[in-house]
Amino acid sequence: MLTIEQAIATFGVTVDEHLDRQAEIPVLSGLQFQGDVAVVPVTASPARTPIPAEGVPVVRGQAQANTHLLVATGPAFFTPDRSGRALTLGVLTVEEGATAYLAHPEHAYAGIAPGTYELRRQREQADQTRLVAD
Amino acid sequence: MNTPLVEEEQAFEAAARARYQEIGVPFPDRVVRVSSPLAGTFAAPIAACLATGHRNRRVLDSVLRAVDDTAGERIGRAVRDAVEAATAGPARGSVHGAAATALHADLPAARGRAKRDDLWDTVNEAVDADLRAAVEAAVGGARQDTIRGEIRRLWRARLPAAGVWWWWPFRDFVLFCPPPSDVHREPAGEDETARPRLHRADGPAVAWEDGFGLCFWRGTHVPRAVVDDTLTADEIIREPNAEIRRCAIERRGWDRFVIEARLDQIGPAVPDPGNPGQTLTLHDVPPGVYPTNVRVLLCTNGTVERDGTRRRFGLTVPAACTDPIEAAAWTYGLTPAQYAQAQRRS
């Protein structure tokens, strides 16, 4: 398991100064949330597009400050959703031996174990349902 | 008032001169820059009434005092300065009194349509609304005499050909106000192509040098008290405009509004799965409070803030949600059973 300090050194996404640099990042295969993004384990055909070294900004925050960046150590794949379903960001597949991370300046890192997942946004009820930006 | 003309001011004056020429009226010698559209709104009619011989100082002073009382003394001083500059000094020949007739009625007919710009259209509409409110506040009382009537008649004029400039063209003088120098915008969404919208949480999003400003919350023109966050929960609920009410609640934050407005809690607080030590609560929102029929889920961030606290926040959910887990699950499009399995929230 990486500590936040090691993850910052590996992926280059710094996090807020008050967050404990020595804390280990749990690597989970179940449902987890990073703010307004959900990592939902699914039974689906695996993603086939490799996550590039610079990562995939699955949610771009305003002014880059709140971007959820998907990164990985080892083979991991992400296929952005093109179906137009509002909440679905895409499918993530983490191969055996690999770990994916969602990196965010305020929420730090979320570790994702091998498996296939759907990444989703959070929504609110409004005149038209709108996405949450945290 | 004799600030050297910058390039934009020269362009404005050229456009203004062209408008006068179109209707065959000589351009006046007195060209006075005012500090805000609000200062011009009061100064122009007062100066016009002075120039036409309406010299009842008692009435004039009562109007100026009304401006002090309602718009503030800073605006009042700006109005007095502009009136002074527009009317002081030697009169231009013998026509000075009688000819100081407003040209508004002639000018709009002589102009073309301004270049369209949504953001400036929004600013314009908001300026008009705030000026109308300021005029009504100052001279909207039952007692009407000439100058009050003139102010209500003459407060608005703009020269579209030169962008967002406000101006008050008369035979003997022209008052003008440049566009605001202080304009705060934010992206309207995550899409980089989204048009920016006017927004500022700690003051007017659009401001002039004398303190006159327009408040916007995420693109919606709102009263100053919304941005200053000084309304009581009851005042927010009584606000007749649904959009302003929505903005006021967003500004306050649902976490505080739910408590201050004593919104009924639906069922007990439940532990937030994956977020140890934190709870979720669901609250009813009475009809007419929010533009949409909703309930509110109060949540707590998974990550601590700089000061060691955790941010509480509210999310609007469908009114059909009957418990906090169902509501939280809905926000991610999950079933309640799925949501209950959450392992971690960061």
Pair (B23, B109) in one structural domain: yes
Residue A50 belongs to domain spanning: 27-131
Pair (B147, B246) in one structural domain: no
CB contact under 8 A, B316 and A125: yes
Pair (B93, B32) in one structural domain: yes
Domain boundary among B211, B236, B251: B251
CB contacts of B345 in chain A (<8 Å) are 32-34
Which of the four pLDDT bands, split at 50, 70 and 90, describes residue A129?
low
C-alpha span between A103 and A101 (Å, rounded): 6
Q: Is the pLDDT confidence value at B288 over 80? A: yes
Pair (B309, B330) in one structural domain: yes
* pLDDT number for residue B184: 94
Nearest-CA residue of chain B relative to A62? Answer: B190
Residue pair B287/B293 in contact by the 8 Å Cβ criterion? yes
pTM: 0.80
Residue B346 inside a domain? The answer is: no
Q: What integer is the mean pLDDT of B38-55?
A: 83
Best to test chain B binding among A20, A29, A33 (most B CBs inside 10 Å) = A33
Predicted confidence (pLDDT) per residue in B113-128, tens digit: 444 567 888 888 899 8
* pLDDT number for residue B110: 39
CB contacts of B338 in chain A (<8 Å) are 31, 40
How many C-beta atoms surround the C-beta of residue B54 within 10 A?
18
Q: What integer is the mean pLDDT of B179-198?
A: 79
Predicted confidence (pLDDT) per residue in A109-118, tens digit: 999 999 999 9
Pair (B246, B267) in one structural domain: no
The ipTM (two decimal places) reads 0.93
Q: Is the pLDDT confidence value at B256 over 60? A: yes
Which of the four pLDDT bands, split at 50, 70 and 90, describes residue B109?
very low
* pLDDT number for residue B180: 87
Residue B268 belongs to domain spanning: 254-340
Pair (B172, B218) in one structural domain: no
